[in-house]
Chain A
């Protein structure tokens, strides 16, 4: 009897962790998938990707907490603002750096990260802030005998729909096939009359928008403070390097593994902390430098 209930409790806890991990992982995917595409398309290391996510988070914060805009109305605005920021930065600054060496790209994007961190600190203050969620998103709901957070359920729903939509766009639309062609071989693609730079600009803006949406959704779980881009830079990079950049399935699986691994690791072996994640990343990179889920060898 006693053993049975104990086992039941352990199982329920495990399922809760799994659920939280999936929510976390999906959030990471929405945050990082833009980075995967820009990296695969232009071989460009955008360490400042997290800054666009932070922008989305703070836009939502200002709209919801200060202006009283409904949470669900603020989310699309966060997407649009981040996408617009991405488009502006891409056209004004980034496009001049594509042809430069990886060292230059790293210096440039790290510089942008530093600027965004200090600027947000200046405007919004350095403390961690929370977006006021509507009451119906707080608390837990019983799902198939399992108590799960309503907000996490919402995250899984939104991110799941987004993932399906992304996969659909990539697989079935004309833009998607152009994008895939450009990722596979930019030179041949442009030789076939595909406007690679244009595709890249659109993708960059869209990816930044998704990051902004992820930042808005994730503020509750990941926390929102000016050091956000630095804190999560490593997570985004893990998703991209482990998942590979040749598809979005790779980063998606990598995000889920990372999310579940991180939540479970912090719960079961808190002493090791983030240690496990970093070690796994190094091992994977040594074992398969092109990413765990990459197909074939990269160019």
Chain B
């Protein structure tokens, strides 16, 4: 009897989960509009391509942080470790002529950063949020110190100079106005966004959310908590590495600043402004953050940190949830948690299972 019951419910459950996932994976018109707008920016704002490229880099970096913070709840104050590592790998590959073709170098830098992410991910599995905070911060500081010390390789405090990028795919050379760089950056962000979207709406992504909400319960229903965390941390580190490599390739320069605490804090802020856990938060946050930085910095260059600090304090005091309310309709539409999908969640009580 029991076996038959299981045989009856399992396909139902499986189809329920896959239906739910398929529902969540469907493209919303607003999302399409969002990316059309991004494409339009190439043609509408041709003289803003330099700052737009910076936005693209920060957006990718924030997307990477969203994967670990928004989808698995790991607080990191040292995400710049992987950003910087990817940046230096890309710089060294180009400088020494090992891989001069940018796309391939980007992939290699991302892989290198994800290897680093995999190795260090075991450090963030243990302990409380404070411990994780300290360990991530410590990792980025150690890397910065290493990059500072091995100046024969990295150029130390002066930064890595003499990075020259070959044309992309051998066809499109980088230009001084940054047109190629922006189109290139935008394509990279879009491709990686598609991949991230695929990841978070897969059974793996669903189980991540279960881990974030309640690690104890999710391990009780058979999810390997540590395995999931290591997995997503590795992926996120790769993303951060690619973001760093993108910065190096588009600016043809990399310095110790890529490892700084401020950079880790900046990306956290960008993500918090945009909102965590729906992928677009990092991108929207990056746009707002950079525009704000640009406009405030043009008024008071060295004191813009004050306003960013004030913003952080206000965001927390007002409450991130309440702040998120203004973006709630947008989030609702973006995350496609429409009434139909919500009903399905209720219908499948064990929806956080692994899909088998």
Contacts and interface: CB of A to CB of B under 8 A. Distances in A.
Interface of A: 39, 45, 93, 96-97, 100, 102-108, 110-119, 121-122, 126, 230, 233-234, 237-238, 241, 271-275, 278-279, 281-282, 285-286, 289
Interface of B (DSSP majority class): helix
B345 interface: no
B115 interface: no
B313 A241 contact: no
A282 B139 contact: yes
Given A107-B269, A111-B316, A285-B134, 7 more contacts: A113-B309, A114-B305, A114-B312, A118-B303, A118-B306, A234-B141, A271-B149
Interface string B113-147: 00000000001001111110111011101100110
Contacts of A114: 265, 305-306, 308-309, 312
Interface residues of B, number: 43
Given A114-B309, A285-B127, A107 B141 contact: no
B146 A275 contact: yes
B305 A289 contact: no
A289 B141 contact: no
Nearest to B303: A118
Contacts of A233: 261
B310 interface: yes
Nearest to B75: A103
Interface in B312-342: 312-313, 315-317, 320
A111 B131 contact: no
* Among A105, A234, A286: residue with most chain B CB under 10 A: A286
B211 interface: no
Contact of B138 (A118, A126, A281): A281
B311 interface: yes
A106 B312 CA distance: 10
A115 B309 contact: yes
B94 interface: no
A272 B145 CA distance: 8
Contacts of B316: 97, 100, 104-105, 107-108, 111
A110 B265 contact: yes
B309 A289 contact: no
Contact of A112 (B149, B265, B309): B309
Instruction: Report, nearest first, the 8 A-B pairs whose CB atoms are least far apart.
Output: A111-B312, A114-B309, A118-B306, A289-B127, A115-B309, A102-B129, A108-B316, A111-B313
B268 interface: yes
A59 B194 CA distance: 54
Contacts of B306: 114-115, 118-119, 122
